[in-house]
Every structure is written in C-alpha cells, then in structure tokens.
Amino acid sequence: MWGISGKFREYHIEMVETGIKRANLNLTNRALMKRLLIIKFLFILFFNCNVSQNEQTNRVSQLIQQSDFIGLVMGYPLIDNRGSEWEQIISIGKIESLKGTIGFLLNTKQYLSILAGNDNNFGYPTWFYHDVANKYLVFLKKENERFFQSFAVFPVEYRPNKNNQIIGRIISHPNSKIGLDVNKVIKCLTGLINTNAKTIEYENAINLFLRKASKVINNSSCQKPIPFNKRFKEANEIVKLIKIGTERKDIERIFPFGDGGLHFPCQGRYYFGSEVMIAVPFDGTGGNWKPTNKVNGQIKVYRAHMALD
C-alpha cells in the first residue's frame, strides 16, 4: 500500500465534502450528491485500511529494532521467582541466532540467562511454559552482564501431519490453536533483519499473529497446567499420526522431554506434561540410542509422573 499522510487524507475528504455541500444546495444535483457520499465512504475505508496495515507492519519492525537478540533458543526454567518483577529465570541450552548473540558468563561456557514472566511487559507473552516446549522464538534486550530480558517469547511445537511429515509451528501460548510455520517465520525474519527484504505476504501473517498474541500477554490462565484429560486426548491424537519407521530424532522433536529415569535403547519414555507419559518402542537402526532408530511397534499413552534419576 502507498504511504499516505494524514494531511493528504484530510484534504481529499474535505474536497469531497465540499462537493456534497454544493450539490445539496441545488436540488437538481441530488444524484451527484449520492455519488459523492459513496466516494467519501470509499475514501475513508481506503485510508483507514491503509493506516491499519501500517500499524500491523510496525509490530514486527518495532520488535526487530528494539531487540538485541532474535532467534530460536532451547530454554529451561531455572528459578521460579513468583511475586517478583521477573517471575522466571531461564537457563539456555542452545541458540540459533537471527540477530545478535548471547554471550557466556565470565570464565564459563554457560550462556547468559533470560529474565522472563514479566506481567508489566512490552505487550507480548514473555513466559516459558514448562512441560510444553523446550524451543522458543525469542526477542530479547540485554539487561546487564548476566541477563537478557524478554520482549516476546513464543513456544515452538512440532507435530506430525497425515503425510508423516513433522511440521514446526510457532504459537503464542500452550492452548493456542493458531500457529505459524516456523520455517517461513525464520525465512521472513532473516530477510527483514539482514536485507530489509519485503516478503509482504508472510510479513502480514506475522503481524496478524503478533496482534493476536498481544491480547494474551501473560494471562494467568495460560500459565496454569493443562488439565490431564485434555493433554491425554491431545497425546493420543498425535500418536495416531505417527507411523512405523519414524526416526527417534523426529519423535524427540515432537516429545522433547525424555524421562531419563526410565529410558532404554529399545524404548523411549517421554513426558508430555500434566502426568501424561508416552512410551515409544525403537529398533536398533544405526546402533543404540541413535537418532536413526526407528519406531517398530505400538506407542503407548498412559498416566504417570516423571521418574527421578
């Protein structure tokens, strides 16, 4: 859309209104007046749509400009600070940077931590959801030599489709039914960050997603554990789509939380949250504990707590 200033908009609407007044003074020009009223309506509709488009576009560009780091991170809640300004301190296991970098703590190989879970945040969710995901798309601002603070945090979940493909999508919170293809989001953000390339079609999709996500913020209902019955049903629906021959590496993208206490070469146990456990049988393709192990039997979903190592 063309960039149209407010003065340009007001000038054109004023010209149409002047024509309406003149037509109204002359009863023989009522037909012209009706046409001018329609033109005025179309002008207002056009300009308002343009303003709305610009407001949406600003969301992704503003996040990019404000953030010192943008990328995918493996994040795990390290400290629960309920009642404080930042209710979570997140430990980072791995990063895939799109903009900036996250340094290490002095004399260590441990990444700086993330301050998260701020109810007075910057307009987007900043919560890391335990037992739901371990990979997140994050927009971060460096706080000091020890911490980054989160502008926006979005879980990345992986699910199989009917063609046995594992599809990653970015969601705003665990109960969200709306998500964006993670590969397309990364491609779009990379273009905007590195070359300011305009991938308008998917950029608009990201902006619409951000606008909806801004209504979630850190809603307490999104932070509560998902009820067992709902999580159990979701697990069974996922398992139905997993075919014999699916590799261990893909299973562990879908179910990232392995139950280390009862993990065996021929069977993986994965905790899905809300007391839902999933047992997956594997063969020995490539050797024990290898990503190339393949599913070779029935996957079981049942109720259990994680075993302690």
Average pLDDT value over all residues in the chain? 80
**Collapsing DSSP states into helix, strand and coil, what is residue 137?**
strand
| pLDDT at 161 exceeding the cut of 80 | yes
pLDDT at 257 over 80: yes
* DSSP structure string for 65-77: HH-SEEEEEEEEE
User: Higher-confidence residue: 16 or 178?
Assistant: 178
- Per-residue HEC secondary structure of 238-305 comes to HHHHCCCCCEHHHHHHHCCCECHHHCECCEEEEECCCCEEEEEEECCCCCCCCCCCEECCCCEEEECC
pLDDT (average), residues 69-92: 86
Structure tokens at 296: 């070779």
- The 8 Å CB, 24+ separation contacts for 191-198 are 192/60, 192/61, 192/64, 193/64, 193/70, 193/98, 193/99
Distance CA 235, CA 67 (A): 35
**3-class state of residue 204 by DSSP:** helix
Count of CB atoms situated within 10 Å of the CB of 260:
12
Q: Tell me the percentage of the chain whose pLDDT exceeds 70.
A: 73
- CA gap 107, 104 in Å, rounded: 8
DSSP string, 207-226: HHHHHHHTTTTT-HHHHSPP
Task: Flag whether pLDDT at 5 surpasses 60.
Answer: no
Quickly state the pLDDT bin for 33 (edges 50, 70, 90): low
Task: Give the Cβ contact number of residue 54 at 10 Å.
Answer: 12
Q: Which amino acid is at 178?
A: I
pLDDT of 20 above 50:
no
Residue 152: Cβ within 10 Å count:
24
pTM of the predicted model, to two decimals? 0.75
153 contacts 92 by C-beta, under 8 angstroms: no
Question: 235 or 56: which carries more pLDDT confidence?
Answer: 235
In which band, very low, low, confident or very high, does the pLDDT at 56 lie, cut at 50, 70 and 90?
A: very low
Q: What does the pLDDT average to over 26-47?
A: 55
Q: Which is nearest to 90 in space by CA: 169, 153, 172?
A: 153
Q: Which residue has the higher pLDDT, 36 or 101?
A: 101
CA 36 to CA 279: how far, in whole Å?
A: 69
Q: Quick check: 35 and 67 in contact, CB under 8 A?
A: no
Distance CA 111, CA 101 (A): 10
Burial 16-45 (b: 16+ CB within 10 A, else e): beebbeebeeeeebeeebeebeebbeebee
Residue range 102-121: average pLDDT? 83
Average pLDDT over residues 118-122: 64
Whole-number Cα distances in Å, 184 to 146, 168, 179, 189? 32, 10, 11, 9
pLDDT at position 202 is 78
Structural contact between residues 275 and 228, judged by C-beta atoms closer than 8 angstroms = yes
Question: Mean pLDDT, to the nearest integer, of 125-144?
Answer: 87
* pLDDT, tens digit, 9 for 90 and up, residues 135-160: 999 999 998 888 999 989 999 999 99
Between the ranges 101-105, 121-125, 199-203, 210-214, where is the mean pLDDT highest? 101-105
